[in-house]
Amino acid sequence: MGIGRADLAQWSEDLISPDSVGTLDRLFIQRVHRSGERLAYRSFDRNTKTWVDHTWDQMAEQTARWQRAIAGEAVKPGDRVAVLLRNCTEWVMFDQAAMGLSLVVVPLFTDDRPDNIDYILRDAGVRLLLVQDAGRWKRLASLVGTNACLKRVLILDPGPDFRTLAQDDERVRLVDDWLPETGGDLLQRRGDPHALASIIYTSGTTGRPKGVMLSHSNMLSVAHGALAIIDCYEQDIFLSFLPLSHTLERTAGYYLPVMTGSTVAYSRSVGQLAQDLRVIRPTVMIAVPRIFERVYGRLKEQMARGSWFTRALFETAVEVGWQRFQNQQGRLGWRPSLLLWPLLRRMVATRVKERLGGRLRVTVSGGAALSPDIAKVFIGLDIPILQGYGLTETSPVVSVNTLDDNEPASVGIPLRKISVKIGEDDELLVKGPGVMLGYWNNHNATRTVIDSEGWLHTGDQARIEHNHIYITGRIKDILVLSNGEKVPPGDMELAIALDPLIDQVMVVGEGEPFLTALVVLDGNFWPGLAQECGVDPMDPASLSHHQVTAAVLHRIRDSLKAFPGYAKIRRATLLLEPWTIDNGLLTPTLKVRRTQVLERYKARVREMYAQGPALSTGR
């Protein structure tokens, strides 16, 4: 059963305003005072294989232990401390303890490359580092070992290598040995809301990451602004699986629930997300498009295996559900087909919703563009997806759709107190309380992004209609063909990647006479395609076979049939090795490093253009 209006009428709001607390640590303390015995967090204990509940009072008691231990490390206000943990209650304890001591928290991605982490630790001058386990520290030790600024390394989970690592480096301590038995009361300081709270390193698609400096006020104002658009209640349960080092999860999936007194449950992993959804049955979820793409891919695969009746029923449910949504939004009048919705909801939509726990009332998609086709499927099945937009530099949310005014092709309306306008080259400019203090130790980069009037230049091209923002491209990603035609590749790539056969894709063509593509095939579907084309899937040469490339180009052409005339891919290089963080082709936030991909495959790209356009792919 889902959550209806009658249920919400029984729910309660208990919002803490930023003005009453000033800083993120005082927000936490105020929540403890208000909601001490209420459920704050739920996490999975890997030792006992059970879900464990934590009240606000229990979180405060443990946070005080962390605060007392950190204070004993001879740190002073303004010092930087870093956290390299998966999502867990200890992340929150460390963060709150550090901020209460006026320290600056530097979050790190657990799957980032060691050399990148080493660069961040040195650039930020980190004094203390909390690491998930001995294995992760072992991968870092050879690089970080010579970092004289780093004075303490804390290991949460020891593992078999801990004793050896501790003997090799006197800075290394096990958290269980380091924490005191008790911590007393949390410090209640009168901190400056505009003081630096965190340095968050953006995973740029080119060059070294830059440290975005965010204040307490930055993140508090954005969380509070989001609550003016989307109501949240004490009874809400957030399922947290985006890494807390991702600013969207940190602001909207951590600080916002503290502000509202909602419960946060930590998913075990993305691989176990489907199970966790059914166990936790969340009411609110914040996700990136890749999650919806995966669910959509599974649904599409199941429909392909089903009977014609199953496919027809599913498609009808989506179409009628979409009409119902448009009618509710005031964009479509009533029509007789809507009479079918109660039956279609029972036979199709409810079954799909149950896979997501059955209680989702708000699902926010951010971090990248969500395909309108995917949005239509989920919204048509009565799963409310609200697409939003933001950058780390804006703490991070700039805009989000609302339940009552949801235009899925847009990224929503600006949060309150946020101003937006269109500048040169159709660039979206943003001004508001969430805009960063600047880049750490990089004044030139700050001046490049924030102009003299305080407008932050996003680098994204956009248009604004009826107060809704529509992102149309990325200035740096615009491809200019040799004939002067400008092509935005992002939407093309989104459409192509909807094909279950295609796992990743990058459109190429800067300075060239026509467009080509680098295509990573899904390893699960490749053998089937190879069999259809009569080639050996185990032979690497099969990826270049003319029948295989022709078949893929045909599928790409079908994916782009609704696009303008410029969207013609004339050649494709097929690959099986995925682009990952480890091989340097994805950022920690899963964005493609276009420059690095082009460098890796420059010989293959040259070969495509040397062959000329494949005429058979024309439309």
Judge contact between 329 and 297, C-beta under 8 A: no
Of 522, 528, 471, the residue nearest 501 (C-alpha): 522
Is residue 259 domain-resident?
A: no
Residue 406 shares a structural domain with residue 500: no
| Window from 74-78, 202-206, 582-586, 609-613 with minimum mean pLDDT | 202-206
pLDDT at 618: 41
Please give the Cα distance from 120 to 143 (Å, whole number).
Answer: 12
In the predicted model, is pLDDT for residue 97 greater than 50? yes
Alpha helical stretches, state H, 356-477: 372-380, 443-449
**Each residue of 82-92: pLDDT tens digit?**
999 999 999 99
pLDDT at 517: 96
Residue 615 pLDDT grade (very low, low, confident, very high; cuts 50, 70, 90): low
Please give the Cα distance from 53 to 48 (Å, whole number).
Answer: 13
How many CB atoms sit inside 10 A of residue 169's CB? 14
Is residue 274 domain-resident?
A: no
Burial 124-162 (b: 16+ CB within 10 A, else e): bbbbbbbbbbbebbbebbebbeebeebebbbbbbbeeeb
Of all residues in the chain, the percent with pLDDT exceeding 90 is 78
Report CA 480 to chain centroid distance, whole Å. Answer: 29
Judge contact between 378 and 387, C-beta under 8 A: no
How many CB atoms sit inside 10 A of residue 84's CB? 25
Of 205, 259, 323, the residue nearest 17 (C-alpha): 259
Residue 295 pLDDT grade (very low, low, confident, very high; cuts 50, 70, 90): confident
Residue 308 shares a structural domain with residue 166: no
Element holding 441 (H helix, E strand) = none
Judge contact between 261 and 35, C-beta under 8 A: yes
Element holding 285 (H helix, E strand) = strand 284-287
Residues in contact with 109: Cβ distance below 8 Å, sequence separation at least 6, in sequence order: 203, 243, 245, 246, 581, 588, 589
Is residue 541 domain-resident?
A: yes
Residue 323 shares a structural domain with residue 211: no
pLDDT at 619: 36
Strand residue runs (E) in 306-384: 362-365
Residue 53 shares a structural domain with residue 197: yes
Is residue 441 domain-resident?
A: no
Residue 340 pLDDT grade (very low, low, confident, very high; cuts 50, 70, 90): very high
Residue 538 shares a structural domain with residue 527: yes
Residue 353 shares a structural domain with residue 311: yes
Query: Which CATH number characterizes residue 511's domain?
Result: 3.30.300.30
How far is the CA of 528 from the CAs of 9, 548, 606, in angstroms? 52, 11, 29
Please give the Cα distance from 8 to 27 (Å, whole number).
Answer: 25
Q: Among 225, 245, 276, where does a domain finish? A: 225
Please give the Cα distance from 405 to 49 (Å, whole number).
Answer: 42
Question: Count of domains in the chain?
Answer: 3
Burial 226-242 (b: 16+ CB within 10 A, else e): bbebbbbbbbbbbbbbb
The dihedrals phi and psi of 217, each to the nearest 5 degrees, come to -60, -40
When the pLDDT of each residue in the chain is averaged and rounded to a whole number, the result is 93
Q: What is the DSSP letter of 300?
A: H
Is residue 79 domain-resident?
A: yes
CA dihedral angle for residue 96, residue 97, residue 102, residue 105, rounded to 10 degrees: -60
pLDDT at 510: 87
pLDDT at 86: 96
Query: Which CATH number characterizes residue 176's domain?
Result: 3.40.50.12780
Q: What is the mean pLDDT of residues 189-211?
A: 86
Residue 517 shares a structural domain with residue 496: yes
Residue 71 shares a structural domain with residue 198: yes
In the predicted model, is pLDDT for residue 206 greater than 70? no
In the predicted model, is pLDDT for residue 205 greater than 70? no
Q: What is the mean pLDDT of residues 226-238?
A: 96
CA angle 180, 41, 16 (to 5 degrees): 100
What string of H, E and C letters represents the secondary structure of 462-495?
EEEECCEEEEEEEHHHCEECCCCCEECHHHHHHH
In the predicted model, is pLDDT for residue 617 greater than 60? no
In the chain, how many H helices and how many E strands? 24, 26
Q: Among 225, 250, 278, where does a domain finish? A: 225
- Residue 202 CA neighbour count, 13 Å, CB half: 23
Residue 294 pLDDT grade (very low, low, confident, very high; cuts 50, 70, 90): confident
Is residue 270 domain-resident?
A: no
Residue 402 shares a structural domain with residue 517: no
In the predicted model, is pLDDT for residue 207 greater than 70? no
Judge contact between 60 and 88, C-beta under 8 A: no
Q: What is the mean pLDDT of residues 260-275?
A: 95
Is residue 401 domain-resident?
A: yes
The dihedrals phi and psi of 431, each to the nearest 5 degrees, come to -140, 135
- Residue 115 CA neighbour count, 13 Å, CB half: 6
Residue 389 shares a structural domain with residue 418: yes
Is residue 335 domain-resident?
A: yes
Q: What is the mean pLDDT of residues 350-358?
A: 94
Q: What is the mean pLDDT of residues 414-426?
A: 96
Query: Which CATH number characterizes residue 349's domain?
Result: 2.30.38.10
Full DSSP string of 22-59: -SHHHHHHHHHHHHTTSEEEEEEETTTTEEEEEEHHHH
| Window from 38-42, 509-513, 536-540, 574-578 with minimum mean pLDDT | 509-513
- Look up the domain containing 316 and give its range: 288-433+446-475
Please give the Cα distance from 81 to 278 (Å, whole number).
Answer: 36
Residue 201 shares a structural domain with residue 333: no
Q: Among 207, 225, 243, where does a domain finish? A: 225
Residue 106 shares a structural domain with residue 146: yes
**Each residue of 157-174: pLDDT tens digit?**
988 878 888 888 899 999
